[in-house]
Amino acid sequence: MDKGITIAIVGRAESSNKLVNESKADLIWGIGGAYDDQPDVPHFDALFEIHPPEMISQPAYSTIHWGNLTAGEYGADKCYTMGDVPEIPDYRPYEIEPIKGLVPSSKRMPDPWKTMFGSSLDYCMALALLMHKRGEIVKCVEIYGFDMDEGKNTDTEYRYQRPTFRYWHGRLHGADIEVYIPDESSLAHGQMYAWEGGQIVTLEMMKKVEESLIGQRFVLKRNAERTADGKMIAGPLYWRVNSALFYLAKWKKENAIDLTGKGDLVFFRSLFDQIISAFENERDRHLAMKNSWGGKMNERINKAGLTLDEARSFDYAGDISEEMKAIEEAGDSAQRHGQMFYETDGGLQLAYHMLALCDNIAKPLVIKKVTSHQLDDDGKEIKE
């Protein structure tokens, strides 16, 4: 396809996000805090902030992002948002209804679109497809700054987002739109099932999981020591993560790569089932507490006759009024629970990943082409 435009989409993974500066794309779209990460990008034609305003306006989400957005300093002509967000100059409500219509439905599955969006990147790719179908021919979509490989190059994307990315990747290919992913991104790499190997757990995978679990164990220990409530919730999780680490160490010592059929695997899978259940409860609790304290903070700010920016820039050091102390307390509590929410969610994604690994363990398939006329009576290969 010679005619048409090229769209470059930029994320936050450091493995490839700077490569957009070498792109000749006609349009450059950024995800969320892409401009905060690299203001040296010459120009963003659009930014996609597909998150609830009440979340991205909290300091726990980012100390600079909301300020950049509301000041119009996000380096883009427009910002796509969830509905009307008048605080952001040049905002554009994202057209979600026609985007949903891109996913074919049926009587048996009237709302299939519910499972087809796992990240902001999906919304970008879907919009590119919609533009193409509406007559603005798109010949190529370039993907920079995405790995969807938790903890590797960014903490804002996860492996669970890959399936829906691949869906929209395929939809673009189906519309004869080239999708370019630089070699530096892990999304550009993989194995062709069966032809290039089975789904196995490698020692490298085990090492990565072990490092992540050690980090999560530290977080749980810290949370357990903060409050009695934290001890009650984080304490049992700490024990389960320790148990998981014990089995990982055991397998590493045995140089175990193919774990198929081992009794320990059943226990290990059961362990991560429990961790997921506990992490989900803990994550949801922190989210509810974060939102509750955030609401209290906003109420107290309004009662004091201040704007959010004025409250943020206020110097809380020294002797301050009870009114401002109440705002500071609510803000600190919202930020603390917000941080614990993200930490717990990170542990949850790791547990999801480990559960998937347990479910996908299989022996690698080795194919040797040997026909019957090449074997002797003892079954040995006859050399030419």
How much is the pLDDT for 228? 61
Pick left, alpha or beta for residue 255 (phi over 0 → left; psi -120 to 50 → alpha; otherwise beta): left
Q: Which amino acid is at 245?
A: L
Poorest-pLDDT segment among 95-104, 123-132, 251-260: 251-260
Q: How far apart are CA 39 and CA 335, in angstroms?
A: 26
How much is the pLDDT for 247? 64
How much is the pLDDT for 152? 47
- Cβ contact 27:139 at 8 Å: no
| Average pLDDT over all residues of the chain | 77
- Cβ contact 6:142 at 8 Å: yes
pLDDT digits (tens, 9 = 90+) for 172-200: 999 999 999 999 998 998 767 666 654 45
Q: How far apart are CA 344 and CA 287, in angstroms?
A: 10
- List the beta bridge partners of residue 49: 81
Which residues make Cβ contacts (< 8 Å) with residue 238, sequence separation at least 6?
A: 217, 220, 221, 224
Higher-confidence position of 73 and 231? 73
How much is the pLDDT for 287? 83
Encoding tokens for residue 188? 């550009």
Pick left, alpha or beta for residue 46 (phi over 0 → left; psi -120 to 50 → alpha; otherwise beta): beta
Give the three-state DSSP class for 120: helix
Q: How many CA atoms lie within 13 A of 347 on its CB side?
A: 32
Q: How far is CA 205 from the centre of its chain?
A: 19
Poorest-pLDDT segment among 12-26, 50-64, 100-114, 176-190: 50-64
Give the three-state DSSP class for 17: helix
How much is the pLDDT for 232? 59
Pick left, alpha or beta for residue 119 (phi over 0 → left; psi -120 to 50 → alpha; otherwise beta): beta
Q: Which helix (H) or strand (E) holds 55?
A: helix 53-56
Q: Which DSSP symbol is given to 44?
A: B
Higher-confidence position of 331 and 200? 331
Torsion 243-273-278-165 (CA) sign: positive
How much is the pLDDT for 144? 94
- Cβ contact 3:143 at 8 Å: no
Burial label for 205, CB within 10 Å (0-12, 13-18, 19+), is: middle
Q: How far apart are CA 303 and CA 297, in angstroms?
A: 10
Judge whether residue 374 has pLDDT over 50: no
Q: How far apart are CA 80 and CA 82, in angstroms?
A: 7
Q: How far is CA 306 from the centre of its chain?
A: 34
Judge whether residue 234 has pLDDT over 70: no
Which residues make Cβ contacts (< 8 Å) with residue 62, sequence separation at least 6?
A: 33, 36, 56
Mean pLDDT calculated for residue range 284-310: 84
Q: Which helix (H) or strand (E) holds 356?
A: helix 322-360
Beta strands in 172-254 (DSSP E): 178-180
Higher-confidence position of 275 and 338? 338
Q: Provide, rounded to the nearest whole percent, the portion of the chain with pLDDT above 90.
A: 27
**Domains delineated in the chain:** 5-188 (3.90.1480.10), 203-360 (no CATH)
Backbone angles phi, psi at 299, to 5 degrees: -60, -45
Q: How far apart are CA 362 and CA 152, in angstroms?
A: 25
Q: How far is CA 350 from the centre of its chain?
A: 11
Q: How far is CA 376 from the centre of its chain?
A: 56
Mean pLDDT calculated for residue range 228-241: 63
Q: Which amino acid is at 94?
A: Y
Give the three-state DSSP class for 27: strand
- What order of strands is seen across the sheet that includes strand 46-49? 91-93, 79-81, 46-49, 27-31, 5-10, 138-144, 178-180
Question: pLDDT-based confidence at 259, cuts 50/70/90?
Answer: very low
Judge whether residue 46 has pLDDT over 60: yes
Q: How far apart are CA 309 and CA 312, in angstroms?
A: 5
